[in-house]
Chain A
Amino acid sequence: MKGKYADDQINQYLNQMKNGNSEALASLYDQTCRSLYALCYSYFHNRHDSEDALSDSYLKIQQEISRFNGKNGYAWISTVTRNICLNRLKRESRIVAVDFTDEAVVNEHGISETYVNTADDDSDVVSVAKAVLGDTEFRILIQHAVSERKFKDIAADLGKLETTVRWQYHQALKKVRRAYEERRV
């Protein structure tokens, strides 16, 4: 999803949804699911929670469609998605962290192994990025490179300066490149 053409299309779909066109949701989903999913993944680092958050995001978009002002559609929906993810993270921060590799703990809590995050879930470069980057760096990298969020917005979320976030992004890219090259060798 790149460029002004994509932005105009998203605006068009959102305006259609606002006017009651139920078919526009499917088109909006096809246009934006990758970038919004990546945005969710940057927060949760696993497929299950990311898909749940994505589902909640589209639901929220429908519920709040009347508030869409007709412009900057992608910025609006990515803001909605970000808020959903942050709210979920806040709720989950109250949940006790469990070591998924500890079989005894898994059996005690009844957690299915299907929910255990493994490197096999992700492609090569993504798994390398996850392995070598910290949470903040991974989030900055994915949100800018895949979800196309602006450094200014990412910085505002993290409470950092834009220049800091920009520098951290390039540092993250460098780390992933090196690790990926080493792996290929």
Chain B
Amino acid sequence: MKNKDIERMLSESDAWMPSDGLKKRILRERVTASVKQNPEQSAYARRIRPTRLFYRMIPIAAVLITMLFCLVVGAGMYATEYETVYVDINPSIEVSVNRFSRIIGVDYLNEDAERCFSDLSLKNRSAEQGMILILDMLNEEGYLENGELYIGVSGKNEKHAEKLLTKLEEYTEKTQKEKGYSATVFTQKIAPEDKQAAKEMGISPTKYRMIKNILDENYAYSPEDLKDMKMKDLRELLGEQKHGIPEHDKDAAKNEKTEKWATQGSPGEKSQNGDVQSEKNNHEKQTASPEVTETKTTIAEKKSETSTKKQKGS
């Protein structure tokens, strides 16, 4: 045996193999240990994986971003006008309502409204609460006593607008009963084109609709003549000309359930004793009654009279 043999035996000996678990331990502990022992990590250790703090921050950041998004979106939705409520008795007021039925804006359409409602704080209240406050104020000013209250709702979503209108009607009836107010209430869903046209004329859509109906029947009047008249007077004028919704009013055919202008029976008739008369499905009742037929004949006669007068005048 030579020294080289001993050298070879020593170098090839199995004694120099570490235990199997050591490799696994070294590979497992490579990053954790290096991070713990050396805060100034080498480039290699740094690239292995991000720190625990980073992983902990991910869900926190996700929650914060989601909350911020909801806040921004919610704030945007809160401030966006979704429906508009018009209240006319003679003071005309326009109330902007958001998706959550909260009042976000108030506009006075005439001086009476500004005088009457400017001290009233309506913003951020629910539409129903706002209506109660408006009624209380109108009563204080004496408008509700035997007066005629017109409520109109205009909105992007027709169903939602209709729902709000029904709710306002219920609240108004309830309030009138509880507090003994004696106004007659008329409600109507406002079409977008009416809203736009009314805005151009500088009047409320409910008044505009009334004027439009009058003009449809009576060409003797001009919009300027009728613009400054009170709602009650306009309705009486309309009532003189027709009973019920005119047949040629195309919108009426579509909105049978919601258009509630005309009274039943003779013109100018209104309910007493604090009962609110909101007239539903008038069109069907009116067309069924013999009085409507008479009314139509009367209207046709008047039309021909008017046109004859005009011809003579020219």
Indicate, yes or no, whether A interacts with B: yes
Taking Cβ atoms with an 8 Å cutoff, the residues of A that contact B are 17-20, 22, 25-26, 29, 33-35, 37-38, 41, 47, 50-51, 54-55, 58-59, 62-66, 121-123, 125-126, 129, 141-142, 145-146, 170, 173-174, 176-177, 180-181
Cross-chain contact of A22 among B6, B22, B48 (Cβ < 8 A): B48
B42 at the interface (CB under 8 A from A): yes
B10 touches A180 (CB 8 A): no
Within 8 A of A (CB), among B42-69: 42-45, 47-48
B3 at the interface (CB under 8 A from A): yes
B7 touches A173 (CB 8 A): yes
Cross-chain contact of A141 among B10, B17, B22, B45 (Cβ < 8 A): B10
A125 touches B17 (CB 8 A): no
B1 touches A126 (CB 8 A): no
B19 touches A51 (CB 8 A): yes
Cross-chain contact of A41 among B1, B9, B16, B44 (Cβ < 8 A): B16
- Please tell me the number of chain B residues within 8 Å of chain A, measured between CB atoms: 34
Known: A173-B3, A176-B6. A59 touches B42 (CB 8 A): no
A20 to B46 Cα, complex, angstroms? 8
A76 to B18 Cα, complex, angstroms? 21
B229 at the interface (CB under 8 A from A): no
A121 to B14 Cα, complex, angstroms? 10
The total of Cβ contacts below 8 Å across the A-B interface reads 107
Taking Cβ atoms with an 8 Å cutoff, the residues of B that contact A are 1-3, 5-7, 9-11, 13-19, 22-23, 25-27, 29-30, 33-34, 37-38, 41-45, 47-48
Give the residues in chain B near A129, CB-CB below 8 Å: 10
| 27 residue pairs bridging A and B, Cβ less than 8 Å apart | A20-B44, A25-B27, A25-B30, A26-B27, A33-B23, A34-B17, A37-B16, A37-B18, A41-B15, A51-B19, A55-B22, A55-B25, A59-B33, A65-B42, A65-B44, A123-B13, A125-B13, A126-B13, A126-B15, A129-B10, A141-B10, A145-B10, A146-B16, A177-B2, A177-B5, A177-B6, A180-B1
Give the residues in chain A near B22, CB-CB below 8 Å: 33, 51, 54-55
Most-contacted residue by chain A among B1, B7, B13 (CB, 10 A): B13
Q: Which chain B residue shows the least CB distance to A64?
A: B42
A125 to B7 Cα, complex, angstroms? 10
Give the residues in chain A near B10, CB-CB below 8 Å: 125-126, 129, 141-142, 145-146, 176
Give the residues in chain A near B13, CB-CB below 8 Å: 123, 125-126, 146
